[in-house]
Structure 1
Amino acid sequence: MRRATLASIGGNVLEYFDFIMYAHFAREIGSTFFPPGVRFSQTTAALAAFGLTCCARPVGAWILGGYADRKGRLRSLRVSIVIMTTATFVLATVPGYARIGLLAPAVIMLARFCQGLSMGGEFGSATAFLIESRPAHATRAASWQAIGQILASLGALAVTFGLRQVLPAGASDETGFRIAFGIGTLLGILALLARMGAEPTPPRGPAARGMPAPPADARFCLRVVTVGSMVALGAGITYFGLAMLAYAQSELHVPADIPLYASVISVVGQLAFTPLRWRLANRFDRTGRIVPSLAGCGLVAVLSLCAACAVGRHPGLVLVLPLGLNLLGLSYFAPLDGQMGLVFPAAQRGRGLAIGYACGVVLFGTLLPFLIGWLSGGVPVVRSWVRNCSRGWLFWC
């Protein structure tokens, strides 16, 4: 089980590590790979490339998720980690705009698109692999996905802090993110080795009888919509945390170290509640009751609305709200990955879970990078409109 867990969460760890590193170094990536003097800032262009990653997710979910249903979860996981690691390596090594001109942004956009393809198939295949490795404890097994994301966040913050301490002032403009994505490449290689040594789960459903998976009918589409709705709240809070930290720096003029420390406290706090997360997941495995999950979802929604009203009077709340919302909604988030996986029958789990998860992430992940870029210094008129309209909207997410 340990080997299956490591093989499953390795790609998710790399995905979140890449996600945080790219968001943190967006300004440096923009100034390195994108031309100056364009209408939008270089940071906004870099975040647009990040949005391209989100747009590619549903395509990768359809392709790699279907491959997982036909050929097995582990084969799909190996393909996705190879693509993901290669795209990360490109970001760490490709020359900047000053050396190769417009070829630099073209290569970066292609790499981010490939990254999105691999990420699209990663979650569905990995979660299905975890669930099918321990069918009697499916939700507990799938909860390792969220724990892997927390560990990746902690590792990314540690790398960020370490680079700030080690590199001299000004040296991190380009060197910092290249070192960070070099570390990400090593993580991808380790994840690939773990997957090469893992034992595949036995085929299930029509695949076990050599038959193709059932077609995507109306029931399949309804399940995809259900999963997308389930993941939207978690994705919204994740992007909300990043958006609020950028907002604290650009609008509240908080020193750069304060959001970093707030992120560390948020991640460590979530990690400290891992035993409670497991207990809640085990309870769902025993009872199958969704009432606690619904109560947690409602609590987070109500508190988000209250926070939207309070942040104007107490702007420092933006630094503690991500942790608070994650902990107060733990009864919803703890069994979430397993619940989403169990929505689909085994024959459609790889593709269905991947598409639903990808669409839920895209719903919040495609728009918010532009909002963050505008909040940080995009077009003045649009930035003013976004600043005023998005304060409440971001909390609603």
Structure 2
Amino acid sequence: MQDAATPLVDAPPAPRRRSAQTRTIIATSAGNALEMFDFTVFSYFAALIGKTFFPVDSDVGPLLLAMATFGVGFVMRPLGGILIGNYADRAGRRAALTLTIQLMIAGTALIALTPSYARIGVVAPVLVVIGRLLQGLSAGGEIGASTTLLMESGPLSGRGFMVSWQVISQGIAALLGALSGALLSAVLPADALASWGWRVPFLLGLLLGPVGFYIRRHLDETHTAARDARGSAVRELVTHYLGRVALGTLLIVGSTSTLYIFVFYMPAYAVRTLHLPMATSLLAGCASGLTMIVAALVSGLWII
């Protein structure tokens, strides 16, 4: 993505009316929440997914393998950020965000529709891992492209508020994912939840995918000038901004790792290891998602 302090375009985007900014916030946040819902709901059902695709003779083995599969998505996120971020600079933010939601739909479909290990053997976990790789590639490109679009859609004095909707939408995804799990665990018998109930949130995300795609296709484009002829974005980033990249990476590592441990891993750990009711652990996940929403909104209003 382009550096905010040293733009790589011929001219900055023109100021936009408040109504246009509101439409951008709604469209970008809705699509981002849908993508992050599809990406993170895997962790809430990790214990059940582990039993379905990883038949290991151990209490913790399936959970560990399922969480490892969840983690595979993060291997692809840096690559997604680089490839799709570069694509967003060349083709525009809207094109990049349309691509990310297509990748997320494909990955989610593989997870939602793949039969169990008992039915198709080792092919099942392989397909699920491929699905997570696609989701990770999508999520890596989604974060950068959507954050940049939000930043470019508002005035300089309101960038903190605009970009805060990136984190707010992730909080919404965490809240809805945990809430769907809590409702399903409260309504369905344990056998039904383990057999097919865990697939419902993925299928819901899959059904909503075309809606997100439509929204993305009609986003206002903020990237209006072609990149100049100073070489590739990746090479220029490494050559001129490596220090900022390293600093930004270190700043985000702590918060991101803490987020995924406490918000997304702990509910699965509480069910599988602490033997807490699934509904109880997922309600705690709802509280975490709500906290993210409020904290991000307040912080965004304070930051210029």
The answer to whether 1:235 aligns with 2:256 is: yes
- Which residue identity is paired with 1:89? A
Shift of 1:218: 3.3
Alignment of structure 1 residues 256-335 onto 2, 5 Å:
256-272=278-294, 276-281=298-303, 285=304
Percentage of pairs with the same residue: 33
The answer to whether 1:186 aligns with 2:207 is: yes
Partner of 1:301: none
Partner of 1:160: 181
Name which of 43, 46, 50 aligns with 2:63: 43
Q: 3-state SS of the aligned residue for 1:203? A: coil
RMSD of aligned Cα (Å)? 2.5
> When the two structures are superposed, what TM-score results if normalisation uses the length of structure 1?
0.64
How far, CA to CA, are the matches of 1:198 and 1:56 in structure 2?
26
Superposed CA deviations along residues 244-288 of structure 1, whole A, max 9, x for unmatched, are: 44555566554444333333333334445565334213xxx2xxx
Contact 2:182 2:283 in 1 (8 A): no
Shift of 1:163: 0.8
How far, CA to CA, are the matches of 2:280 and 2:139 in structure 1?
30
Partner of 1:56: 76
How far, CA to CA, are the matches of 2:120 and 2:105 in structure 1?
23
| Count of aligned pairs | 280
Shift of 1:177: 1.7
Contact 1:29 1:174 in 2 (8 A): no
Q: Return closer, same or farther for 1:243/1:116 CA change in 2, 3 Å cut-off.
A: closer
Q: 3-state SS of the aligned residue for 1:134? A: coil
The answer to whether 1:108 aligns with 2:128 is: yes
Q: Return closer, same or farther for 1:92/1:197 CA change in 2, 3 Å cut-off.
A: same
Point out where structure 1 has 5 or more consecutive residues left out of the alignment. 286-397
How far, CA to CA, are the matches of 1:96 and 1:249 in structure 2?
21
Range that drifts further, 253-262 or 62-71: 253-262
The answer to whether 1:94 aligns with 2:134 is: no
Superposed CA deviations along residues 63-102 of structure 1, whole A, max 9, x for unmatched, are: 1111111111111111111000111122111111111111
> When the two structures are superposed, what TM-score results if normalisation uses the length of structure 2?
0.82
- Which residue identity is paired with 2:282? L
Alignment of structure 1 residues 1-397 onto 2, 5 Å:
1-37=21-57, 41-136=61-156, 137-204=158-225, 207=227, 213-214=232-233, 215-216=235-236, 217-241=238-262, 242-249=264-271, 253-272=275-294, 276-281=298-303, 285=304
Contact 1:67 1:76 in 2 (8 A): yes
